[in-house]
Amino acid sequence: MESSPAGETEAGTRFAFYANNGKFEYIKLMHDDLLTAAVDSRIKRALMAACLLVLLPQPMLTAQAARSIESPEALRQAAVDYALGQAKRRLPEARLSAKAAPLDSRLRMTACKTPLKTQSAAGAARVGNTVVAVQCMSPRWKLYVPVRVDAYIEVVVAARPLLRGTHVAGGQLTHAERNAASLPYGYFTQASEVVGQVLTRNLAPGAVLTPQGLRPPMLVKRGQIVSVTAGSGGLSVSTHGEALQNGARGALIRVRNLQSNRIVQGRVTSVGTVHVGG
């Protein structure tokens, strides 16, 4: 057994550390003659350092430990700042707010020696519930922080009750602020985007118009006699046919030629007109 110089606690009890199979332990000293053992200088320095840790005030130890880990608040703020920046690029006119989820209190990320890097996690959304990857390059570690981003924006809504099949007119619409994070089916910001479209479901006042809730108007209806044009460039011929399908602008439908009774396929170009060929 090798012992160190004695120390003294706040209560006045004298003690000494000793090395026992590579482990440092201590004993109370009843007599000063127990301090006579010689100690190797390297072991002595190690033992004195151990004494210092034992006697060091707890608040000082806590402060030193705090400086060795990355602040959870700094990690959350880095994630929030990045998420807000991404949302601002997508929705520059929106009123934005963001909040990072609390981190596990047991989390201990080593303090980063370089500026933190942030990026969107794979497949993460820009608004609503998203995830931001916060990364340190020295030492290397990465943490994924959940963030909620709310984006309030003026969108097109119904000004009054509207029935399915209604051809939308400007006077039937108005604008209202809504949280884009709560509109998973999309929305419109300009009334001109929906005027002339046809509703596919009933809408209550204030209901948001969505792409899924609209369809283009049918310019050709099944059984309708239509003008069938063919040709390209300066050469064009036309005849009449019977539409065998409904068709919106740009739709490809089948038409029966009334003269030859032949069925051809053409694209709807305007009301009652189908073009065949290039």
Spatial distance between the Cα atoms of 187 and 208, rounded to a whole number of angstroms: 7
Angstrom distances, CA of residue 150 to CA of 11, 74, 128, 181, 187: 58, 21, 6, 6, 15
Q: What is the pLDDT of residue 274?
A: 95
Helix (H, G, I), strand (E, B) or coil at 37: coil
Which region among 64-68, 100-104, 158-162, 260-264 has the lowest average model confidence (pLDDT)? 64-68
Spatial distance between the Cα atoms of 157 and 189, rounded to a whole number of angstroms: 9
User: In the predicted model, is pLDDT for residue 199 greater than 60?
Assistant: yes
Please state the rounded mean pLDDT for residues 96-121.
94
Please state the rounded mean pLDDT for residues 83-102.
96
How far is C-alpha 115 from the chain's CA centre? Answer: 22
Burial class (CB in 10 A: 0-12, 13-18, 19+), 79: buried
For the chain, the residue count is 278
Q: What is the pLDDT of residue 57?
A: 53
User: In the predicted model, is pLDDT for residue 225 greater than 70?
Assistant: yes
User: In the predicted model, is pLDDT for residue 194 greater than 60?
Assistant: yes
User: In the predicted model, is pLDDT for residue 269 greater than 60?
Assistant: yes
Tell me the per-residue pLDDT of 115-172, one tens digit each, with 9 for 90 and over: 999 999 888 888 999 999 999 999 999 999 999 999 999 999 999 999 999 999 999 9
User: In the predicted model, is pLDDT for residue 3 greater than 70?
Assistant: no
Q: What is the pLDDT of residue 233?
A: 67
The amino acid present at 59, given as its one-letter code, is P
User: In the predicted model, is pLDDT for residue 113 greater than 60?
Assistant: yes
Q: What is the pLDDT of residue 67?
A: 65
Spatial distance between the Cα atoms of 247 and 3, rounded to a whole number of angstroms: 97
Q: What is the pLDDT of residue 205?
A: 97
Spatial distance between the Cα atoms of 9 and 29, rounded to a whole number of angstroms: 12
User: In the predicted model, is pLDDT for residue 184 greater than 60?
Assistant: yes
How many Å from the N-terminal Cα to the C-terminal Cα in the chain? Answer: 100
Q: What is the pLDDT of residue 229?
A: 92
Provide the percentage of residues in the chain whose pLDDT is more than 70: 75
Spatial distance between the Cα atoms of 203 and 194, rounded to a whole number of angstroms: 14
Please state the rounded mean pLDDT for residues 169-192.
96
Listing DSSP states for 232-269 in one string gives ETTEEEEEEEEESS-EETT-EEEEEETTT--EEEEEEE
CB 168 within 8 A of CB 196: yes
CA neighbor of 160 nearest in space, from 100, 125, 209: 209
User: In the predicted model, is pLDDT for residue 1 greater than 50?
Assistant: no
Q: What is the pLDDT of residue 73?
A: 94
Buried b or exposed e, range 158-173, using 16+ CB within 10 angstroms = bbeebeeebebeeebb
Q: What is the pTM of this model?
A: 0.64
User: In the predicted model, is pLDDT for residue 278 greater than 50?
Assistant: yes
Which region among 27-31, 103-107, 202-206, 217-221 has the lowest average model confidence (pLDDT)? 27-31
User: In the predicted model, is pLDDT for residue 111 greater than 70?
Assistant: yes
